[in-house]
Structure 1
Amino acid sequence: MSSEVIKPPKRSLLGVIKEVFNWYPSAYSSEERKLLFKLDVSILVYACLCFFVKFLDQTNISNAYVSGLKEDFGLYGNELNYFNICYYSAYVLFQVPGMLLMSRPSLARWLLPTLEILWGICTFAQSRVTNVQQLYALRFLVGMFEAPVFAGTHFVLGSWYSGPELFKRAGTWFLCNPLGSMVSGYLQSAAYTNLSGVGGMSGWRWLFIIDGIFTIPVALIGFVIFPGIPDSPRPFFFSARDIEIAKERIKKANIRRPGRLGLDVFKRSFARWHIYVFLFCYACMILSSYPSSYMNLWLKEEGYSVSQINQLPTVTYAIQIVASWLGTTLAAIYPSWIIYTMASFCTLFATLCMCIWYIPTGLKFFAWYLFGVSGCLSPILYSTVNTIVKDDSEERALIMGSMMTFGYQFQIWVPLLLFPTAGPNGAPRWPKGWPFTFVFFFFLWVGFITSLVLYRRDKKKKEKGLAGLEGSGSESGSDSPGLESEAVVVVESAKGDDRRY
């Protein structure tokens, strides 16, 4: 059996446009298309709402800081960094435990909605803080409860979808990240303008109340519609036949279902290259993305009004929304390394402008907004992890949780060294931070390309081994046709994946 890489067919512009919006291919049976629609309505609707409020809650601390929190509490040092450190410390500590729990079928349906209820309560509580110590504690709790949401949703998507389906859904879901950040800016602007003084509270306090009002109903919706993973208890709107088709689909795609969870998952994972390369990639992604979210600090330094400070950065989030959806969708049609390289070039150019710093104001606005193109980098990376490690469910969960743990632990201390809020090396100039950001973006691209090269190498070895085993079985009259059939499934799956890599 040949291991030759199958090149993607050439498509006209009209063909590409059709493929971008083709979520339910006509080649699928009517039963499979109905199942995909049910999955989209249940998983994507809840995941998008959940992710939206997560980033609404995560971004509000920065918006509150520049909208009166700083002045009310007399915060003229690195307190904004400390708020983030409290959040990310908890985020790091609870990543791997949360992800391993997400891999358990009996818990996968209920874990995220339960955690969302808890962080919604903490979001409400932030509106009533009376000192900065209380806010530190609440940021820690919010980080703890939000820990499994990001990687956990990617894990769930990778448990139901594969191939181009997965890339398209991951990109659509991820756009709720910048959408939540974008809406948070408008909400804070509206709260500052219309609610300041209402009920004796500052406008920034009302932002936390509004966020909590969004969060709790979304959590309740999750208890009803979120299906967990294919082996979880069946939701009422899925028939037994739906689950049967879903399990047939993941078997055909060579996605291994959850097995026993034991310490051997660590031994298996650390014996392969996946965890090392993807941890490196995500650490570079986290470190490179940190300064680009603080355009509001530059606007404040330049003397823009509070409304402008909250609203102008939302253009970046709008670009992220388009890039997340379109970039990831195109990565399902064309080789993903091409899309990743184009997006990486944009971020490197924007970072270079920030390194120079003393450039025309218009170019600096363009650079800030160009960072929005990075919106496709994360969903493409995680969809690639789901594809490459689909043969081991527990390893996949461990890697995704470890990526978040390893990446975000740098958020605990690196910002204090490279991205301080105050001082001669402080925000938003960051004479030390921006050059390092350029290096991190470059290493992220190198790491991603390395993962594809290693994946292609492993697939070729596997194809040759299984093809030889299949031929040997045929010559010897093997009594194990199932093994031969499995070889064909794995090889065909590998060829399908290589079309995008």
Structure 2
Amino acid sequence: MDIEKKGRLSLYGVFKEVFNWYPSEYPAAERKLLFKLDLSILIFACLCFFVKYLDQTNISNAYVSGLKEDFALNGNELNYFNGCYYTAYVIFQIPGLLLLSRPQLARWLLPTLEVLWGICTFAQSRVTNVQQLYVLRVLVGMLEAPVFAGTHFILGSWYSGPELFKRAGTWFICNPLGTMVSGYLQAAAYTNLSGVGGMPGWRWLFVIDGIFTIPIALIGFIIFPGIPDSPRPFYLTADDTALAKKRLERAKIQKPGKLGLDVFKRTLRRWHIYAFVFCYICMIISGYALSYMNLWLKAEGFSVVQINQLPTVEYAIQILTSWVGTTLAAIYPSWIIFSGMTACVTFSFICMIVWKIPTALKFVAWYVFGLAGCSSPILYSTVNTVVKNDSEERALILGAMMTFGYSFQIWVPLLLYPTVGPVGAPRWPIGWPVGWVFYLLLYCGFITAILLHKRSTLKAEEDDETESSAVEESVLFPTGAQFKE
């Protein structure tokens, strides 16, 4: 479906297209294959992503639910916990993505890592000092490194076009869903499990998270298919695999090739890595504070249960916009969706910069931040679409985005978003203005990438037409033949 046709869709037509996952014009075999892939890739990826963000968020929820008091923490320890996690996350990002691009490893890597991080998650419930927690956050960050960008790579290896955007948006809802459920779990653990087994409620959150993680990892060993060139799982037939590869050829998605230094050379010669890494760095810097509504609620004197539950409204909005926004980006030009989202998020940033506004308006501002939920899946789906003709470059860019983006996550919060002090949470008189600037830069970078891709596409089409004309001419008039008697 081209852009012009999309623009003529009625409201009912748009509604139908949002839910049209298996288009009637597809052959029955292709619709069946898509259904199998959705049941396998999406189920495992969604569950895996859910527990990842459940674990990534529960350190913040534990901090405001008794961890701080139990370990007598009075400084920027929450930022240090996150710093340990993200340092390991950054270091193992690109190696993890390049390993995931290897067909023989792709099926087993993510389930294996999930088993290991599940063990480390359990261990966090038994720490006796803050140093042990720092070490475990490093291990969890290392083991979770390839999950996010790696799943985008897997999705881009099976799906293309509107299919890809719809699945990426659906999968990404597990980010806010995991964060949201973590709040409810921590509230329930604080209320119902405090003192059970001699453990405070915040420790039980890590136990519950570990209980979720291990079974999901075991399911992954059975159903996760890796990439099309990986060993076939039991539910895919030889015909299914052949059809999947034909679909890739039709969409001009290149299958994995040789992995060598040439991957770095050709990637660094192209504009893709610079534009998309810049976008993700801006997204990370601008989005750090958006998930810390709980710190504002704590400063305002809300109860522990309210501190854990009220932010879940923002995550519910993220769930809706992650799915609907990304799906609409498959129907209409993605820059239109990105522009509307940027305008809404700008309103919230301005409220936070002004700060002295009614509490009700501040609640609205926090919740409107949830509209930014579709920015990440749209950006990553765009990368998969733009760089589809080079599998290794695509893996390297996805890994580089996470590496450089989260490298800023390690130190920027300490400068812009300190937990305590005159410029500390949740006021952040420096952090909010800087965050807004970087969000606008994200928008500019995304639009620039779209324009560069359009220019590259037009140039490629012109080159193809020129080459085709040359071939036709050579066929009609072989060299020198037109001058022969």
> After TM superposition, is the score higher than 0.5?
yes
Residues 266-305 of structure 1 correspond to what in structure 2 (within 5 A)? 266-305=264-303
| Per-residue deviation, residues 11-53 of structure 1 (Å, max 9, x unmatched) | 1111111100000000000000000000000000000000000
Q: Where in structure 2 are the equivalents of 1:420-435 lying within 5 Å?
A: 420-435=418-433
User: What residue number does 1:331 align with?
Assistant: 329
1:186 counterpart = 2:188? no
Paired residue for 1:241, among 239, 242, 253? 239
How far apart are the structure 2 equivalents of 1:422 and 1:242? 56
5 Å-filtered alignment, 1:161-240, equals: 161-240=159-238
> Does the CA contact (< 8 Å) of 2:50 and 2:177 recur in 1?
yes
Matched, 1:467 2:465: yes
Partner residue of 1:141? 139
Partner of 1:256: 254
Letter in 1 for 2:195: G
Distance 1:407 1:392 in 2: 22
Q: 1:369 aligns with which of 358, 367, 370?
A: 367
Matched, 1:44 2:42: yes
Letter aligned with residue 343 of structure 1: M
Q: Which residue identity does 2:104 align to in structure 1?
A: S
* Structure 1 residues 78 and 231: CA distance shift in structure 2, 3 A: same
Q: Is the 8 A contact 2:3 2:332 kept in 1?
A: no
SS of 2:80 mapped into structure 1? helix
Question: Aligned residue for 2:480?
Answer: none
CA offset digits 1:365-417 (Å, max 9, x no partner): 00000110000000000000000000100000000000000000011111111
Select the residue among 474, 477, 481 that pairs with 1:476.
474
Residue 290 of structure 1 aligns to a residue whose secondary structure is helix
TM-score when scaled to structure 2? 0.97
Aligned partner of 1:56 in structure 2 is 54
- Structure 1, residues 467-486: CA drift from partner, whole Å, max 9, x if none? 111122122229xxxxxxxx
The ranges of structure 1 where at least 4 consecutive aligned residues each deviate by more than 4 angstroms after the TM superposition are 4-7
- 1:217 offset after TM fit, Å? 0.3
In the TM superposition, residue 9 of structure 1 has moved relative to its aligned partner by: 4.4
Offset from partner CA, 1:167-226 (integer Å, 9 cap, x none): 000000000000000000000000000000000000000000000000000000000000
* Map of 1:318 onto structure 2: 316
Q: Which amino acid is the alignment partner of residue 145 of structure 2?
A: A
The residue type equivalent to 1:467 in the other structure is E
CA contact (8 A) 2:3 2:331 kept: no
1:96 equivalent in structure 2? 94
Match of 2:403 in 1: 405
- The alignment partner of 2:127 has SS state of coil
Structure 2 vs 1, CA of residues 9 and 425 (structure 1 numbering), >3 Å: closer, same or farther? Answer: closer
One-letter code of the match for 1:260? K
Q: What whole-Å deviation, never above 9, does each CA across 1:428-453 have from its counterpart, x for those lacking one?
A: 00000000000011000000000000
SS of 2:331's equivalent in the other structure is coil
Per the alignment, in what secondary structure is the counterpart of residue 77 of structure 1? coil
How many residue pairs get matched? 476
Structure-1 separation of matches of 2:56 and 2:472: 58
Distance, in Å, in 2 between the alignment partners of 1:201 and 1:87 is 24
State how far apart, in whole Å, the 2-side matches of 1:18 and 1:291 are. Answer: 36
- Specify the alignment match of 1:128 in structure 2: 126
Which residue of 13, 22, 29 corresponds with 1:24? 22
What residue identity is the alignment partner of 2:204?
W
- Determine the C-alpha separation between the residues in 1 that align with 2:346 and 2:11: 28
**1:440 partner amino acid:** F
Q: Structure 1 residue 6: deviation in Å?
A: 5.5
* Equivalent of residue 390 in structure 2, options 392, 396, 412: 392
Q: Which residue of 2 aligns with 1:437?
A: 435
- Tell me the residue number matched to 1:353: 351
CA deviations over 1:292-317 (Å, ceiling 9, x no partner)? 11100100010000000000000000
Alpha-carbon separation, structure 2, partners of 1:450 and 1:8: 23
Counterpart code for 1:462: A
Post-superposition shift, 1:5?
8.2
Relative to structure 1, the CA distance from residue 372 to residue 53 in structure 2 (aligned partners, 3 Å threshold; closer, same or farther) is: same
Q: Which whole-Å CA distance do the structure 2 matches of 1:412 and 1:131 have between them?
A: 22
Whole-angstrom CA distance in 1 between matches of 2:312 and 2:82: 20
State the one-letter code of the partner of 2:237. Answer: S
Q: Which residue identity is paired with 1:360?
A: P
For residues 156-176 of structure 1, the C-alpha deviation after alignment (integer angstroms, 9 at most, x for no partner) is 000000000000000000000
Aligned to 1:497: none
Shift of 1:8: 3.5
Give the Cα–Cα distance (whole angstroms) in 2 for the partners of residues 442 and 23 of structure 1: 33
Deviations 1:331-378 (A, max 9, x none): 000010000111111111101100000001010000000110000000
Structure 1 residues 274 and 193: CA distance shift in structure 2, 3 A: same
5+ residue gaps, structure 2, are 477-485
The amino acid across from 1:149 in the alignment is: V
8 Å Cα contact 2:318-2:371 kept in structure 1: yes
- Per the alignment, residue 81 of structure 1 pairs with 79
Alpha-carbon distance in structure 1 between the residues aligned to 2:317 and 2:461: 40
**Residue by residue, what CA displacement relative to the aligned partner does 1:92-126 show, whole Å, maximum 9, x if unpaired?**
00000000001000000000000000100000000
SS of equivalent to 2:341: helix
Q: Counterpart in 2 of 1:11? A: 9
Residue 457 (str. 1) matches residue 455 (str. 2): yes
Mean Cα deviation higher: 401-410 or 4-13 = 4-13
